[in-house]
Chains A and B, each alone.
Chain A
Amino acid sequence: MKAWLTFSPKIVSNSIISNLIKNYDIDFNILRADITPEGGKMLIEISGTQQKQAAEFMEKEGIHLNPINKVVKKDEEKCIDCGACISLCPVKAINTTEDWTVEVDDLKCVGCNFCTKSCPTRAIWVTE
């Protein structure tokens, strides 16, 4: 599961995330974070058997959870496998196979749209 977490200034100093990792059987990966005295936003990816419980715990502690359902798609007809998108992806969701075919991994995609804006043939897009 990928989600944006937003938290208020009041709980910025609480050690919610470390408790989360300690108490639940999950892998926790921070993809982006922006934390200021006015509060914080964090893009995370959680995997593991206790994802649901972990999400409930965060909500209970005052973190607002906004799951991302965006996935990246590629039009095989339009794509020329040039690879211009590869180095732009912040989460390495775009790679090439052995024969240089460009492959997108929609599980990794965070929907930033960097690739879609930069595709020379407009062959790639992000959808809900």
Chain B
Amino acid sequence: MKTVEEINERIKDGDAVVVTAAEMTALVKENGAKKAAEEVDVVTTGTFGAMCSSGAFLNFGHSDPPIKMSRTYLNGVEAYSGLASVDAYLGATQPNRKPDIGLEYGGSHVIEDLINGKEIELHAEAYGTDCYPLTVIKTQITLENLNQAVMLNPRNCYQNYASATNSTDETLYTYMGTLLPNMGNVSYSSAGELSPLLNDPYFQTMGTGTRIFLCGAQGYIIGEGTQFATEVERKNGVPITTAGTLMLKGNMKEMDAEYVRGATMPKYGPTLYVGAGIPIPILNQEIAQRTAISDEEIVCQIVDYGVPRRNRPIVKETNYHELKTGAIELNGMEVPTSPLSSQKKALEIALKLKEWIDKGEFYLTSPVEKLPSKGYTVKPLEIQKPRTLVKDLKGETLILAHPNDAINEVAKKMVQNNINHLPVVDDNNKLLGIVTSWDVANAVARDKNNLTDVMTKKVIIAREEEPVDVIARRIDKNKISGLPIIDKKNQVKGMVTAEDISRLMGGD
């Protein structure tokens, strides 16, 4: 019906009709897709979300004498330098090497500071060669002085993404933000009906070479992103889970920090908020119909991040209209929802891209090769070594205490068996609490004789079916030295201690 060349002619003449994806939804609803396809030339989309798989190639230029940088640090953040002498790739999620800064200032923050024109400290180390004799450099750089600063993001703009909640009784800190205990909140990350890949769900218009809005500059899609998938469940034509992704490229020297930000997800780490907008040429009625997708028609699953496994359980299926109301019903409770990507900025980006096209500052491109629309699935990484589960740990004799045991008896048991923890159980071997050698010392010091007064009643436990690696993380996170193993009937089966785990890991 229309070609990209014809649309570009209209852009040149100032006659192109450009609307945002949200406006298109209303337009098609009102006048139908046929009429909308005749009237509209371009639909602009936008998203501004945390996109961890982002980074930048930097070329520092040659010093005199020259150096072949093998390690580089920018404001204390390491960039990968296993490339030619003065090239490096700075990843957005790289934490700071200074432990006191750590996650608070990482790769994404350096990217933002560079774009803002700030001076960055470059520290480079090398082993020294005949052609590159220098072994260390400490200097200041700015974006302007770099030869190239190319943002190259291996995976951006997920087509859809599950929203997150947490069924456990402790707060979780994830890349989906802070998740309150007992499903206290839900966070979602897609821009919904404004999101680029939801408006062209079969990639009929985009691919390698598509010119886009990237962080305030004109950038390009350079191919499908990593973890790209097409073979997924769809409703109303759009995937209900993660599916398509994009690999994007843009010149950092032309970017605007208004549309790209360094950020830190608490206790998770640095991430980059990337602003991306893709123009969709309305070449025919079908494409027009696809861009009319509404928040209500885009299905999203809420998954439980309380289960730290690859396949997390789905709690509920919802849609972006419901999520955007600010609350959702989960198990009969009204639970508040948070967007994790900025809906405001997503719209700003779609409007900015529209403005560029309206002013004739941005022309569309036909992709050299369209993104694949079928045949892609995401493969898991299978760990070759069999996973050790808690129940596989070599069990030692089960030593237990009972609530009526005298303190000195408990102390004796600990010394005789050379242990520091003792689960306290009832007559059916059900867990009541845990007592440590410290608790016993405490009891003696305070003249307490009742075991139930000194034991810890809120016990962190290990289930028999859990992988040992999950337990290692739990020990570390809760700063404890051991935890009781509980079977399906809630009976105590033994203890697992930090020493058991380090012995196991050391044996790899």
Contacts and interface: CB of A to CB of B under 8 A. Distances in A.
Contacts of B180: 87-88
Contacts, number: 80
A96 B326 CA distance: 9
Contact of B271 (A85, A114, A120): A120
Given A87-B185, A88-B178, A121-B261, A82 B273 contact: yes
Contacts of A87: 180, 184-187, 335-338
Contacts of A122: 264
Interface in B326-371: 326, 335-345, 347
Given A120-B264, A120-B265, A86 B336 contact: yes
Given A82-B340, A85-B338, A87-B336, A114 B273 contact: no
A82 B342 contact: yes
B202 interface: no
A62 B50 CA distance: 51
A120 B264 CA distance: 5
B342 A80 contact: yes
Contacts of B178: 84, 88, 114, 117-118
B66 interface: no
A86 B50 contact: no
B149 interface: no
Contacts of A120: 50, 177, 263-266, 271, 273
A86 B336 CA distance: 8
A88 B338 CA distance: 8
B397 to A, nearest CB: 39
B220 interface: no
A19 interface: no
B228 interface: no
B339 A82 contact: yes
A117 B336 CA distance: 18
Nearest to A120: B263
Contacts of A88: 178, 180, 185, 338
A89 B178 CA distance: 11
Nearest to B189: A82
Contacts of A83: 338-340, 342-343
A84 B338 contact: yes
Nearest to B273: A80
B48 interface: yes
A114 B358 CA distance: 43
A69 B111 CA distance: 38
Name the residue in A92, A101, A120 with the highest tally of chain B Cβ atoms < 10 Å from its Cβ.
A120
A99 interface: yes
- A-side binding surface: helix, strand, loop or mixed? loop
Interface in A62-76: none
A117 B186 CA distance: 17
B464 to A, nearest CB: 34
Contact of B342 (A81, A114, A117): A81
A94 to B, nearest CB: 9
Contacts of A121: 261-263, 273
A84 B339 CA distance: 6
B423 to A, nearest CB: 26
Contact of B347 (A80, A84, A86, A100): A100
Nearest to B260: A80
Interface in B230-278: 261-266, 271, 273
A84 B50 CA distance: 11
A86 B326 contact: yes
A31 to B, nearest CB: 16
Contacts of A89: 336
A86 B340 CA distance: 10
Contacts of B347: 99-100
B345 A80 contact: yes
Name the residue in B178, B184, B335, B347 with the highest tally of chain A Cβ atoms < 10 Å from its Cβ.
B178
Contacts of A96: 326, 343
Name the residue in A87, A92, A117 with the highest tally of chain B Cβ atoms < 10 Å from its Cβ.
A87
Given A88-B178, A120-B263, A121-B261, A99 B326 contact: no
Name the residue in A83, A85, A100, A122 with the highest tally of chain B Cβ atoms < 10 Å from its Cβ.
A83
A96 B338 CA distance: 10
13 contacts: A82-B48, A83-B343, A84-B340, A85-B338, A86-B339, A87-B180, A87-B185, A89-B336, A99-B347, A101-B344, A120-B265, A120-B273, A121-B273
Interface of A: 80-89, 92, 95-96, 99-101, 114, 117-118, 120-122
Closest 9 CB pairs of A and B: A120-B263, A87-B185, A87-B336, A100-B344, A87-B338, A100-B343, A118-B178, A81-B344, A83-B339
Given A87-B185, A100-B342, A121-B262, 20 more contacts: A80-B48, A82-B273, A82-B340, A83-B339, A83-B340, A83-B342, A83-B343, A84-B187, A84-B339, A85-B338, A87-B335, A87-B336, A88-B338, A100-B343, A100-B347, A118-B178, A118-B266, A120-B50, A120-B265, A121-B273
